[in-house]
Amino acid sequence: MKKDFPITLTIAGSDSGGGAGVQADLKTFSSLATFGTTVFTCLTAQNPDGVTGIYEISPDFVSSQLQAVSSYFPIKSAKTGMLYSKDIIKSVASFFYDNPDIQLVLDPVMVATSGAKLLKDDAIQSLIEDLIPLAKIITPNLDEASLLLGENIHQYDQLVPMAKKLFEKYNVPILLKGGHLPNASVATDVLFDGISIFEYSKPYLKEKHTHGTGCTYSAAITAFLAHGKNLAEAVGSAKEYLHLSLEDDILTGPTQHLNHFPDPTH
C-alpha cells in the first residue's frame, strides 16, 4: 500500500550553502515524511561564513509559483522564511488570504546569524500588518521578538511575559525561542496560544554549529502540523527533532552541520 505523504510548502530564500533556507526546509520535510513543495523569494550567494549577495525574485513570479503549486497540490501547511521585500510579502499575504485553510508557520526572518540583513526596512511594517494576522503561529528568536515588541529580551524570566505581550500585540500564537540567551545551560522556548503557556527545554549543546536551526525548527513544526498534530504537540515534536539534529551533527568540509536525517537512537 502506498504511503500518503501530506503536502508541505516553504516560501523562502535559497541558501547556496545548503544549510538553511529552502534547502534546509526540504530536507526537514523529507525527513519527517511529508512531500515538500517550494516557492523561492530570493537567491543568495552564501556559505556558513556569511551572505555575499542577494538576488530578489520578482513579486509577480513569486505569485506565479504560488499559483502553480497550489493549483495542483492539496497543501496542508506552509512556512515562510526569508521574504525580503514589502512587495513579496504582499504577494504572499494575498495568497494566504485566499487560502485560509492552509496552516501558516511564520518565521520572521530579519537578520542572519552572520549579521546580513534579510528583510528590508520598509518590509517590516508590511510583515506586521499584512502577513502576521494570517499566521497560525510565529516563531521569533530573541532578536526578532525584540524588534517586533520594541523591548529587549535578555533574561530567562522575561520569556513568558514577553510571549504574552507579543500575543496581546499581534493576536497570534507565539513561539518565543530562547536559544540565544547568554550563558544558558538549557535551551528553553515558550509557546503562548492565548490561553496556555507551554515550555520546551533541552540541554544547551555548546560548540554546535547552529546555521539553519531557525529554518529547520519552523519547517519541522510545519511538517508535524501537516501530519495532524495540534500546535503544542507539533512544537514539542519539532523541538525534539531539532535537538536530535544538533546532537547527531555531520561533518561538511571545515565545519559541522546539523543533520536533517538524525539517528533517533543516537
Map out the domains of the chain as residue ranges: 7-257
Judge whether 236 counts as a catalytic residue: no
Task: Identify the pLDDT of residue 113.
Answer: 61
Q: Quote the cell numbers at residue 232.
A: 503544542
Which residue's C-alpha cell is 509559483? 65
**Active-site hit among 76, 215, 236, 239:** 215
- The C-alpha atoms of residue 13 and residue 56 are separated, in whole angstroms, by 9
**Active-site hit among 34, 213, 216, 222:** 213
Judge whether 214 counts as a catalytic residue: yes
**Active-site hit among 27, 214, 216, 222:** 214
**Active-site hit among 210, 216, 222, 239:** 210
What average pLDDT score do residues 145-155 get?
87
> Does the structure show a pLDDT above 70 at 219?
yes
**Active-site hit among 81, 178, 212, 236:** 212
Judge whether 212 counts as a catalytic residue: yes
Q: Which of 43, 56, 118 is nearest to 88 (CA)?
A: 56
Task: Identify the pLDDT of residue 168.
Answer: 97
Judge whether 2 counts as a catalytic residue: no
Secondary structure element (H or E) that encloses residue 226, with its range? helix 213-226
Residues 63 and 90: beta-carbon distance below 8 Å: no
Task: Identify the pLDDT of residue 103.
Answer: 98
pTM: 0.95
In terms of DSSP bridges, do strands 137-138 and 103-106 run parallel, antiparallel, or are they unpaired? Answer: parallel
Which residue's C-alpha cell is 508590511? 126
- The C-alpha atoms of residue 63 and residue 96 are separated, in whole angstroms, by 11
Q: Give 78's strand partners.
A: 9, 104
Q: Quote the cell numbers at residue 208.
A: 554546535
Model confidence band, residue 266 (pLDDT cutoffs 50, 70, 90): low
Fold of 7-257: UDP-N-acetylmuramoyl-L-alanine:D-glutamate ligase (3.40.1190)
**Active-site hit among 28, 177, 216, 236:** 177
| Beta strand ranges found along 81-234 (DSSP E) | 103-106, 137-138, 174-177, 186-192, 197-203
